[in-house]
Amino acid sequence: MNRKNKSNKTPIIMLSKIPPPYGGVTIFASRIYYYLQEDKDFEISMVLLNNFSISGKLSLIYIFNLIFEFLKFILKILNLLFFSFKKKYIFHYNGCNIIGFIFLMFLKIRHGNNIVTIGTIHGHQVNFMIFPFFNNIKEINFLKIISKILLKYCDGLMATNHNILEKFSSNLTKTKVEYLPCYIPFKNEQKKEDNKILYELNLYKKSKIRSYIFSIWKIAFHNKVDLYGLDIFIEAFAKIINCYPEKNIGAIIHIGKLDKKSEIYLNNLLLKFNINRENIFLILNKNIFTYLLVNNNDVFVRPTYLDGGPISLYEIQHISPKATIVASDCAKRIDGIITFRNRSAESLFKILKKLLNNPKIYNNKINFNINCYGENYKSFYKSFFINEH
C-alpha cells in the first residue's frame, strides 16, 4: 500500500491523546486538529493514543479491552512503519511519553527523508514508562538522556516556553526548534453539563469579597515535591484568612481527577492549615475547561514547582483579559503575569495580600494577538515543504 499525496496540501499525521481528560496536552491536540481541518492548505489525520494507558481498576474485562485496544493501535503503527510514502508526510507526536519519541525514531530510520518527524515538548521531562505502576523509574531527565538518544531523529521540535527553547536550541544543532505556545484560536467550548457547576460557582463568588482560583488535572509529585503547588496555594490561603478573619474570602479548587490517595493528601493539607471546608468551593470534574471558571474580576493562581507552556494561562488571558494571574517564577512568564518566588507560600501570601488591599497595585495589563499563534503553527509545518509544492 502506498500513501500518495496528490494535492498541494500539507499532510500531517498527528499522534496524540484528545479529551477527556481535559489537560493541556489533550486540549491542544484537539484544537489544532480541528483548526487545521478548516484550512484548505492542510490535510490532517490523527492516530489516537487514548485507549491503552492503564488508568482504571484492573479487572479481567478491563485487561481484555486494554489488550484489544493496544493490538488495534499496534496494527496502525505497523501500517505506518512498513508501508511506503510517495510524498513527504509530517508525523507530529504531541505527548509526554518516551514511547512516542521512540516511535518517531523508528519512523525516521525506516522512511528517512520521505517523512518529517516533529515533537512537542510540553514540559521539562517526559514519562519514562507507559505504565504508571513503574513509579521508581517513571521519569528521567529529558535534556541529559533523551535529547542525545532520540531527539536527533526529530526534524522539528515545538517548545512551549522560552526555558525549553533555550535548553534544546543549544543541544540540537540539526533540529529546527521553535518557540510555539500550545495555544490557538478556538470556538465556544462550554457544554450544557457545565451550566450547573458554573451557576453554583457564581453564587459562591458573589458570597465572597474575593475568591482565589486554583485548577489542576490531578495531584502529582516530582522528587516528592507537590508538582502543581496545591500545598503552597492552601498555605498562602490560610495565611490570608488568618490575617483578615473579618473578611469573607474564598478559595476555588478545581481538580479533574481525585483518587483516594490524593483525597487524603488534600484533606490533610486542609487539616494542617486549619481551613474549614466551608471556605473552599471544591470542583471535582474532569470534563470542564479551566478558563470557564475564571471571570474578569477573579484572581487565578498557578503555583507550580515546574512548568512548560500552561494552556490555562493563555486561555484566561484570551477569554478574561482583565483577570489577575499570579504564577510561580519557575518558568519565564508572559508580560503581565504577576510572579512570586517558587515554592514560597510566604511570597505568594504577600502578593495576594497586596492585591486584596489594592487590586490595581500591579500594572498587569496583558496584550497579545491570539491569532498569530495559529498562523505560526501553520508556518512551522509549511517550512518543511518549501521546495516540495
Which domains, and CATH codes, for the chain? 2-182 (3.40.50), 194-357 (3.40.50.2000)
Residue pointed to by grid coordinates 521531562: 125
Q: What is the DSSP letter of 142?
A: I
What is the Cα–Cα distance from 3 to 155, expressed in whole angstroms?
Answer: 20
277-281 average pLDDT score:
88
Cβ neighbours of 86 (radius 10 Å): 11
8-49 pLDDT tens trace: 899 999 999 888 878 888 999 999 999 999 999 999 999 888
Size (the chain), residues: 389
pLDDT of residue 86: 72
At residue 199, what are phi and psi to the nearest 5 degrees? -65, -50
CA of 211: how far to CAs of 25, 231, 262, 277, 359, in Å? 27, 17, 23, 14, 13
Give the per-residue pLDDT at 1: 45
Which of the residue ranges 89-98, 160-169, 370-379 has the most confident prediction, judged by mean pLDDT? 89-98
> How many CB atoms neighbour CB 360 within 10 A?
8
Query: What confidence score (pLDDT) does residue 129 get?
Result: 34
What confidence tens digit (pLDDT) does each residue in 56-92 have?
A: 555 566 556 656 666 666 677 777 877 777 778 999 9
CA distances (Å), origin 319, targets 36, 197, 206, 288, 325: 21, 18, 20, 15, 13
Omega before 21 within 30 of 0, i.e. cis: yes
pLDDT at 45: 92
Percent with pLDDT over 70 in the chain = 82
Average pLDDT, the chain: 83
Whether the per-residue pLDDT at 136 is higher than 60: the answer is: no
**What do you get for the CA distance between the two ends of the chain, in Å?**
23
CA distances from 281 to 197, 214, 216, 276, 345 (A): 11, 10, 14, 11, 20
Which residues, at least 6 apart from 356, have a Cβ–Cβ distance to it below 8 Å? Answer: 210, 240, 244, 247, 249
Render pLDDT for 310-342 as a digit per residue (tens, 0 to 9): 889 988 988 888 899 999 999 888 878 999 999
What nine digits make up the cell of 376?
Answer: 505560526
Pick the closest to residue 28 from 288, 315, 372 (CA basis). Answer: 315
Between 67-81, 185-199, 339-353, the lowest mean confidence (pLDDT) is in 67-81
Determine the 3-state secondary structure of 16 from DSSP. strand
